[in-house]
Every structure is written in structure tokens, then in C-alpha cells.
Structure 1
Amino acid sequence: MAEEPSGRRARARARRDPTEWHGQRIVTETDLGAVFAAEERDRRALTSKRIRHGVVLLLLVGLLGAAAFTAVGINRGDIRIAALEPTPRPTETCPAGPFDYQDPSSVTVNVYNSTDIEGLAGTAAGQLRERAFVVAEVGNRSVDPTGMTAIVVSGPDGKANAFTLQRTIPKSVYVVDKRKGRTIDIVLGSGFSAIAPAESVDKAPGGLVCFAPATPAPTPAPAK
């Protein structure tokens, strides 16, 4: 039987193509190089992906740690964020009263330090406790005025308590806010040194002081 032309053509192609042997594909060096190159690319891509994931994880852990540190600092009063604290401002109309001086043991006060003087709030709180005031909270608070003695803050129901504290801390100024109850705040400035001695406190009825007294200008020396 004569051999079919298609079979002869196939064998002729096989003899011409060195990559085929009896109809089977022979793996060449070029094929192996392509496989190894693809594996190397995959390995590098996997390594790069793992590195990116590791960096993202470290950043997330760092952010969580910073957030926790900041939250603890704010809670303890070590970190102050001015945007979170309302800035007390003098009232337009100062309550004239008259208000009666209250028993200090009935006055609850929060003591805040607005300066960089370490321990200022703690010192004032200790002095107020010795005078029988009830100190509730001691911490830090930012305010706009600088160089002032102190700011006394209360709600509408705490004006008599604020008056009592103002008589105890001369040169302090009063600010009203919308809080409920009679608890008051004292925000200390760099001008504060100590509360007034007990024997010098004026206990006569009177009004609140909403603006710091003006400091007289120094008298110029006579011309020579």
C-alpha cells in the first residue's frame, strides 16, 4: 500500500524541527529559561506584596498606639488640645448681686492650670482644701488670656459660689457659661501665686468682678 502523503509530510516536518521527537515536544533551554523567569517574577511579586502588608500593619499599630497615648494624656491632663476646650470670655454684663459669701465647705470647685508652671493646679487645690473648699477635679485647660491671675467660671446657679471663690482669689475675673448646678471652675494663670490669707478675705455681700482691674501707668520720671 502506498504511504499517504500526509504521513510523509509529518515525518518530513519532524526531521526539520529539532524540538520534536517522534511527535513529542522536546523541552529546550529557552523553554526552561522562560519558566524560571516566570517563577522569579512571581517570587518577587509575592515578596513585594508581603513587604507592603508588613509596612501597612506597622503603620496601623503605630497609629493605634499614638491614639491610645493621646487619649490617656488628655484624660490625665498631660496633653491639652485647645479646640476641645471652650475658651472662657468675660461676660458683657457683670452680675452685680449682691451675693452672700458662702460656707467654703458647700462650694465644689474644679481647679485647672492654663500655664506651663508644673504643679500649679495641685498647689492651688491643696490650699483650697485647707480652706474647706471641696475640690472635685484637678487638671489642665487652655485659655486665650495670658499673664492673668485666674478665671472663675460658673453657670447661672453658681454665681454665689463664684463670688465666694473670687473673694478667696483676689484679681480673678468671672465668666458665666451654660452649665447646670452650682459647681464652679477656677482656671489659673501665671499671675497666680496663692489664695488670700483667711483673715484678709472680705466676706461682705457684693457683686462679681468680670474684668481685670486696670494697671495704672507708671508715672514718668521728672525731666532733669
Structure 2
Amino acid sequence: MGGKYRITGDKYPRMRRPRRRGKLILAATASVVALGLAGWGTLQLIDVFTGGDRTATAADHKTDCASAKPSAPALALPKPAKITVNVYNATPRSGLAKKAADELKKRGFTIGEVGNASAAYDKKVAGTGVLLGAPSATKGSFPVLGAQLQGAVAKTDARKTADVDLILGTQFKAFSTPRSAAAALAALSDPSPAPSC
């Protein structure tokens, strides 16, 4: 073949378009930026979920645990033997006060009077029971006796003695089990768990 298509010297016909390096550089730069942003975002997420305080040392953690104080002070609760309980029946069931008094005596309480409730409470206690005592009983006798009977309502009166009345209501079935009562008393004695250090 001749003419203008004839190959002469070191010139060859181009079979493809010339490369444009600008697009290649732009694509590489965009890839590096995208990877950088993804890595930075991952570090931010890790920082958020791990707390982000990398400057705290083990000594700081021990100091925080040592200075931690319980949220509520522990109550100095009296022993059941120190509490005199008067048991009154405000239900139509006969013999309930005696049975309840016997159970409380087995659990270590000192039993005072046992009988029917006064006219102010007789057949008028809808719940499990009412704890009635002096205002000082709210931080001593009431929590200990209340641990034996879930749902009992505490009320104070003007008495000067330390005894507590337990007035059994119509919903009374039985006292709490000794194990659950002991757990409730333990929670009252030490309301906040020790910090886990």
C-alpha cells in the first residue's frame, strides 16, 4: 500500500485515543480522601463508644473508687426482738391475729397485745395491713416489720411508747417468706452496693 498510509521511519499510526492523566489523578485523590474520611469516622465512633478518656490512668480509677460514697446512708435497724408488736385483726376471719402473732414470734419479734382491731379500723383496712406507731418508728420498727408484710401502709399517731401496731387487712394472706424478708432487710441496711473497682 502506498500513499499517505504508508509507514515510514519511526512513526506508527495511533490506534487509540491519547491518555488523559487528569482523570486518573482525580480518581486516585478522591479514593484517598474517601478512605481518610471513613477511617476518621471509625475512630470517632470508637471514641464515642469507649468513653474517649484516654488520659485517665489506673491510679485515677482507684482514686475515683476510693472516693465513691454510697448514695444513701445505711439505716441502723433494730433487731426484731427489740420491737414489740401489737397484732390486731381488722378482717371478718376469726383467729387471724393469733396466727399472725405466733408467726411473728417465731421470727423473733416480741408480741404485745393480740385481738380485734378498734372500731376506727375494724373491717376498714382494704390492703394487706397497716403499721401504726410513733413518728420515731418510721426509721426503725416500720422498715423491719414492713419487710415481713409486703404492701403494708405505715401511719403514725401521737403515742409516746415504742410499740408498733400491726392491723391486718382483708387482703392479708401470709407474711413474706423468711428468705425474702431477710433480703429486704439486707437491702435496707446497705442500700447501695459497693462500687466495682
Q: Deviations over 1:160-182 (max 9, x none)?
A: 11111011111100000010121
Pick aligned residue for 2:96 from 109, 117, 120: 120
Which residue in 2 is equivalent to 1:162?
142
Deviation at 1:109, TM superposition (A): 0.6
Query: Does the alignment pair 1:205 with 2:184?
Result: no
Pick aligned residue for 1:180 from 152, 160, 163: 160
Counterparts of 1:205 and 1:101, CA distance in 2: 8
* 1:86-105 pair list within 5 angstroms: 99-105=75-81
Query: Are 2:125 and 2:168, in contact at CA under 8 Å, matched by a contact in 1?
Result: no
Counterparts of 1:191 and 1:176, CA distance in 2: 21
Query: Does the alignment pair 1:135 with 2:135?
Result: no
* 1:69-80 pair list within 5 angstroms: none
Deviating above 6 A after TM superposition, structure 1's stretches of 4 or more consecutive aligned residues are: none
* Alpha-carbon spacing, 1:98–1:174, altered in 2? closer, same or farther (3 Å): farther
Query: Does the alignment pair 1:145 with 2:124?
Result: yes
Counterpart code for 1:152: L
Pick aligned residue for 1:192 from 172, 179, 182: 172
Q: Deviations over 1:8-33 (max 9, x none)?
A: xxxxxxxxxxxxxxxxxxxxxxxxxx
* Alpha-carbon spacing, 1:97–1:122, altered in 2? closer, same or farther (3 Å): farther
Counterparts of 1:198 and 1:104, CA distance in 2: 13
Query: Are 1:149 and 1:189, in contact at CA under 8 Å, matched by a contact in 2?
Result: yes
Structure 1 stretches lacking a partner, 5+ long: 1-95, 207-224
Deviation at 1:102, TM superposition (A): 2.4
Structure 2 counterpart SS, 1:165: helix
TM-score (norm 2): 0.52
> Structure with the greater relative contact order (CA < 8 A, sep ≥ 6): 1 or 2?
2
Counterparts of 2:136 and 2:168, CA distance in 1: 22
TM-score (norm 1): 0.46
Counterparts of 2:161 and 2:125, CA distance in 1: 28
Over aligned residues, Cα RMSD in angstroms?
A: 2.1
Q: Percentage identity across aligned positions?
A: 32
Counterparts of 1:194 and 1:111, CA distance in 2: 14
Query: Are 1:154 and 1:179, in contact at CA under 8 Å, matched by a contact in 2?
Result: yes
